[in-house]
Amino acid sequence: MKKLRTEVAVVGGGPAGLSAAAEAARAGAKVLLIDENKRLGGQLVKQIHKFFGSEAHHAGVRGYQIARRLLRDVEDAGVTVASNALAYGLFPEKELGVVWDGKHCQVSAERIVLAAGAKENYLAFPGSTLPGVMGAGAAQTMANINRVLPGRRIVMLGSGNVGLIVSYQLMQAGADVVAVVEGADHIGGYGVHAAKLRRAGVPFYLSHTVKRASGDGALARVEIVQVGKNWQSIPGTELTLEADTLCLAAGLNPMTELAWMAGCAFLYLPAFGGHVPAHDAKMETTVPGVYVAGDITGVEEASTAMEEGRMAGLSAAESLGYGAGAALDAERAAIQRRLDDLRAGERGAIRRESKARQTAAAADQRQGGGAT
């Protein structure tokens, strides 16, 4: 078995991991970046819309193009990139088990940055396992990466940004979106994304949910039903839609397996998608030398993922003796300011509050106290 040594190992090559790897390497550390895909970029590679956010975060640039820029930074900084490499375990003494190009290898690192992102939530209802029922991300991968239409008549369940954006992209790829179904009484995602679908005549069924999916061997019909305040179905309001594809866009949850294996302290933060590792302002978890960044710390956006990644990369390098003093402090303060801006205002309130609890939990834990 191949054994590798590195100073910093970064798991996950999305915006968080790419940013962490580039910063740590620029500071002088020897960095290995591990991602299970052949193509790096994480969620970004299947996003063909122009990103929102601010200029510092490449707003107005399409997701897959942002990925290319970040990857160039990583290469310029001298990071060793292991693509097609799955980190399946994190063992004591910061040892990662990795299957790289089909071969097993062991990576020992002095510092580890976990930037594994998030995965889609699953929903169970009668017929939810029928072929044709799939994650919104699966439909997006099929259309934007593999360039094959997953179906012709699509029902989207969920009206958050993912549901809205994927609906629009499936239309751009040539499919009909016959309905966007949303359990709440209002649209979850941004008005600009919803407006594009509205203009195209896509019907929104608010306060509705999927009652059952059916078809002979594959999806043919989606039965939806109106729901009341407590999410109970209202009999007599059922409606059957003909569709060959039902996309589930019911939110994401952080992919935290490796952080659990490392023994990090966790807390439950619903606004971030579930259980998340506690971490301090430098992105270090309660396990010394193990850092986290991006959606694994709580589902947010690419912009926050990049900033958290930078913070984690700089801090990991600093703890190894690379970079110090006023310049580093100023850089970290600037990153923190941008993170605060990204969580500012009314829309950011719940994330601001959740982040505060997450860092407080890490501090508690270090003092030998409370939350797990």
Partner 1 sequence: MRITDHPILGPAEAGREITIFYNGAPVPAVEGEPIAAALMNAGVRSFRRTAKRDEPRGIFCAIGRCTDCMMIVNGKPNVRTCITGAADGMRVETQYGYGGRKEQA
Ligand X SMILES: Cc1cc2nc3c(=O)[nH]c(=O)nc-3n(C[C@H](O)[C@H](O)[C@H](O)COP(=O)(O)OP(=O)(O)OC[C@H]3O[C@@H](n4cnc5c(N)ncnc54)[C@H](O)[C@@H]3O)c2cc1C
Chain residues binding partner 1 by CB under 8 A are: 36, 48, 62, 119-120, 129-135, 137-139, 141-144, 146-150, 152, 172-174, 217-218
Containing 138, the helix (H) or strand (E) segment is: helix 136-140
How many CB atoms are closer than 10 A to CB 368? 6
Q: Which does 288 bind (CB under 5 to 8 A by kind): partner 1, ligand X, none?
A: none
- Told to check if 52 binds ligand X by CB under 6 A, we report yes
Candidates 71, 305, 317, 335; binder of ligand X (CB under 6 A) is: 305
Containing 112, the helix (H) or strand (E) segment is: strand 103-114
User: Taking contact as CB under 6 A, which single stretch among the options 51-59, 71-79, 220-228, 276-284 is the one that binds ligand X?
Assistant: 51-59
Burial string for 141-155 (b: 16+ CB within 10 Å, else e) reads bbbbeeeeebbebbb
Q: Which does 42 bind (CB under 5 to 8 A by kind): ligand X, partner 1, none?
A: ligand X
- Told to check if 354 binds ligand X by CB under 6 A, we report no
Q: How far is the CB of 313 from partner 1 (least distance, A)?
A: 25
Q: Please say which residue, 96 or 227, places its beta carbon nearer to ligand X.
A: 96
Tell the residue number behind the tokens 């110090």, with chain if given.
324
Q: How far is 283 from 287, CA to CA, in rounded Å?
A: 11
Q: How far is the CB of 310 from ligand X (least distance, A)?
A: 12
Q: Is 274 exposed, middle or buried (0-12, 13-18, 19+ CB in 10 A)?
A: middle
Within residues 70-89, the interface with ligand X by CB under 6 A covers 86-87
Three-state DSSP state, 317 = helix
How many CB atoms are closer than 10 A to CB 231? 10
Containing 306, the helix (H) or strand (E) segment is: helix 302-319
Q: How far is 69 from 253, CA to CA, in rounded Å?
A: 26
Q: How far is the CB of 219 from partner 1 (least distance, A)?
A: 8
Give me 22's structure tokens. Answer: 């580039």
Q: How many positions of this chain bind ligand X (CB under 6 A)?
A: 37
Residue pair 144/173 in contact (Cβ under 8 Å)? The answer is yes
In 3D space, the residue among 156, 166, 171 whose CA is nearest the CA of residue 243 turns out to be: 156
Q: Which does 48 bind (CB under 5 to 8 A by kind): partner 1, ligand X, none?
A: partner 1
Q: Please say which residue, 148 or 327, places its beta carbon nearer to partner 1.
A: 148
Q: Which does 301 bind (CB under 5 to 8 A by kind): ligand X, partner 1, none?
A: ligand X
Residue pair 48/32 in contact (Cβ under 8 Å)? The answer is no
Q: How far is 318 from 24, CA to CA, in rounded Å?
A: 8
- Told to check if 189 binds ligand X by CB under 6 A, we report no
**In the stretch 245-264, what mask flags binding to ligand X with x, by CB under 6 A?**
----------x--x------
- How far, in Å, are 119, 134, 232 from residue 158 at the CA level? 15, 13, 17
- Told to check if 237 binds ligand X by CB under 6 A, we report no
Q: Please say which residue, 131 or 370, places its beta carbon nearer to partner 1.
A: 131
User: Taking contact as CB under 6 A, which single stretch among the options 37-45, 202-210, 265-273, 312-320 is the one that binds ligand X?
Assistant: 37-45
Q: How far is the CB of 119 from partner 1 (least distance, A)?
A: 7
Tell the residue number behind the tokens 């801006």, with chain if given.
341
Q: Please say which residue, 29 or 116, places its beta carbon nearer to partner 1.
A: 116
Question: Which residues contribute to the site for ligand X (CB under 6 A)?
Answer: 11-17, 34-37, 42-44, 47, 51-53, 86-87, 115-118, 161-162, 165-166, 255, 258, 294-295, 300-303, 305
